[in-house]
A and B are shown apart, each in its own frame.
Chain A
């Protein structure tokens, strides 16, 4: 008995992309919690990047303003002390977001039980099913994280300009903000992948007989 060839990656990517595109609204809802969490992360981090930039650029002017705005400055007053409370909230929001993704992906797996069963009847290997779900999550994660990171950073920049005046624009630390955005995108994509692992395994373990079930 011969063995089945493995579906080329390009073809899997195409199928995953199509599945996302056609179920656009559904995918959007799944991605929404990720967008929000990543936006929050990016907002907070960009905010402290900006504060750092202001201190470094014109400490004398901004030290007082920053304190008034509620930033924790380190004892020497030259750098931004990371607030443990803030980090904790960001961490919690990311955690909630992963749980949300797991939930949404599990739901999508059970909505698609017939499709998955059928694919298996047509000769799909378990790993192909996992791959489809992982690719879909990666695409969703990337799109959601980029959107969230950009929105968060933009919001933080606008907030800073409103709070500290347009002059603050001169001291915006662009390299740091760029790094923050990239990091937020990476974290968001990772979270999306983390959230799909268990649902993808559930999907892959689904029996092909499921496709035969008649009752909805």
Chain B
């Protein structure tokens, strides 16, 4: 187990937000190592700093102190072009609010990251269609986001996140805006992708359904890692929980 590649390494990360009069300490020293190919859930109460940690891992925000390594590269050392490359090729983002480009069709949404990566049009369309099939939306390529349901939009977003075969998928509450059943579909889809494509999925969530599919659950409390549970321990605790109820 310990021999597997560490795709994400977070070391001593703190994050303060300077609000002028007061400084809010959101992250108070996070150390975390994530193995390639795992499905990780980050759980914690609202306001515990999950999204903040996420933005650091995704290279969207800079830590106040400490370092984030993606694939052993220090994110803070990257210039604008390299950072764009990282966001485009290494990481796929999935948002709670789907964030499809409203003026574009499903297929066009999926092919934007490929365009940014320099993939030719024909190749992009071919791969985009294959991805749509993979997320179960074959035939809906010409639809705009407004013509798709929330769950379908999130599927398109999942396909878009996969566009450049990233090593990591970052999903901040991907099921937050979906009903139970649809949320489960998306979770199953993510899990499937993580096992078949070997993508590392990191997802922040309030959603206990996520626990069942996770290889590892990181509990964040008040800006610190509270505990990290492996899959095996989870089965016991969730089993224990349900018997208590």
Q: Which residues of A contact B (CB under 8 A)?
A: 1-5, 7, 11, 18-19, 21-23, 114-115, 117-126, 128, 207-209, 211-212, 214
Contacts and interface: CB of A to CB of B under 8 A. Distances in A.
Given A5-B117, A214-B96, A122 B112 contact: yes
A20 to B, nearest CB: 9
B74 to A, nearest CB: 10
Contacts of B95: 118, 211-212
Contacts of B176: 214
B86 A120 contact: no
Given A123-B87, A209-B60, A18 B117 contact: no
Nearest to A125: B84
A11 B51 contact: no
28 contacts: A1-B85, A1-B86, A2-B82, A3-B82, A3-B85, A4-B81, A4-B117, A22-B102, A22-B103, A22-B144, A23-B103, A114-B99, A117-B99, A118-B101, A121-B60, A122-B93, A122-B112, A123-B117, A125-B81, A126-B80, A207-B61, A208-B60, A209-B61, A212-B51, A212-B60, A212-B172, A214-B96, A214-B97
Q: Is the interface of A mostly helix, strand, loop or mixed?
A: helix
Nearest to B82: A1
Nearest to A215: B97
B58 A4 contact: no
B116 A124 contact: yes
Interface in B94-128: 95-97, 99, 101-104, 108, 112-113, 115-118
Interface residues of B, number: 37
Contact of B116 (A1, A4, A209, A212): A4
B103 A5 contact: no
A113 to B, nearest CB: 11
Contacts of A123: 84-85, 87-89, 113, 116-117
B55 interface: yes
B55 A209 contact: yes
Contacts of B104: 18
A192 to B, nearest CB: 20
